Amino acid sequence: MKGEPVAANSTSRRKRPNKAEQRAETMEQIFNAAEYLFSRHGLYGVTLKDVAKRVGVHHTLMNYYFDDKKDLFDKVFARRAVVSSTRRMDALDEYEASCRGKPTVEGALRVFLETDLDLYIEGGEAWKNATRLAAQVANTPGWGAQLMDKNFDPVVLRLIGLLKRALPNATAEDIFWSYHFVTGALLHVLARTGRIDKLSGGICKSDDFVAVKARMVTFMAAGIRAVCADGSRSRKR
């Protein structure tokens, strides 16, 4: 209205980010760059200088933010792992409440696997880099296994508990081996090596997590049931 004061450029002038916001933005750029490089070259094939160069900052900044390269690697891994584990745990809690104490193999697997696959489908290339990195870590003895233990053991044991209830006659040994085979197949998929692309002549694509989601639970549930049934029969002989 006429006569009322108007702030000059109040809507067009962008607010300058404060120091905390600038730091958060820089850290996000560093994590994304490191994740990309680590997912392709592994822990030992990347230096802090490589990451700094990709981000476009001086390498001394890396030493300011991180104790060493392993510190950066662990933090890169943990930022995605906490999202994955939290989503899975919440989904498993919801599933247990909805199934009223009667979980099924298919139901538990679907929640555990598809909740994570949805992250990779919806999250774009950044989350696909994370999947390749997770596959590397999971297949690395020592520090890799320790990272997996730290970030994923609670949600994995939650799934195993549901599988035990779904198959009350199965032995704990058979359930644990079944999960071991399940996670092996999953990690091979997440590695996205491109091998299935070549073997299938292009019919199947390593990046096609939608196709994986449509088939994985059916395949794995059948395997778990077979292992547990065969184990019970063999012990009765």
Three-class DSSP category at 96: helix
Q: Please, what are the averages of pLDDT over each run of 10 residues along the chain (237 residues)?
A: 47 68 90 96 96 94 93 96 96 96 96 93 89 92 94 96 96 96 93 94 95 96 93 52
Domain assignment present for 13:
no
**CATH code of the domain covering residue 88:** 1.10.357.10
70-101 pLDDT tens trace = 999 999 999 999 999 999 999 999 999 999 98
**113/225 same-domain check:** yes
Domain assignment present for 7:
no
Which pLDDT does position 17 carry in this prediction? 75
Specify the length of the chain in residues. Answer: 237
**47/142 same-domain check:** no
Domain assignment present for 166:
yes
Domains in the chain, number: 2
Angle at 188 between CA 114 and CA 81, to 5 degrees: 55
**188/85 same-domain check:** yes
Query: Which tokens go with 228?
Result: 């547990």
**125/44 same-domain check:** no
- Give the largest Cα separation in the chain, rounded: 96
The position carrying tokens 């939290």 is 86
**200/155 same-domain check:** yes
Domain assignment present for 91:
yes
Domain assignment present for 150:
yes
Which pLDDT does position 214 carry in this prediction? 96
Exposure string of 126-141, with b = 16+ CB inside 10 Å and e = fewer, is: ebbbbbbbbbbbbeee
Domain assignment present for 4:
no
**151/231 same-domain check:** yes
Domain coverage including residue 125: 79-236
30-58 pLDDT tens trace = 999 999 999 999 999 999 999 999 999 99
Domain assignment present for 71:
no
Which pLDDT does position 210 carry in this prediction? 95
- pTM score, two decimals? 0.83
Domain assignment present for 2:
no
Q: What's the rounded Cα separation, in Å, for the pair 158 and 195?
A: 32
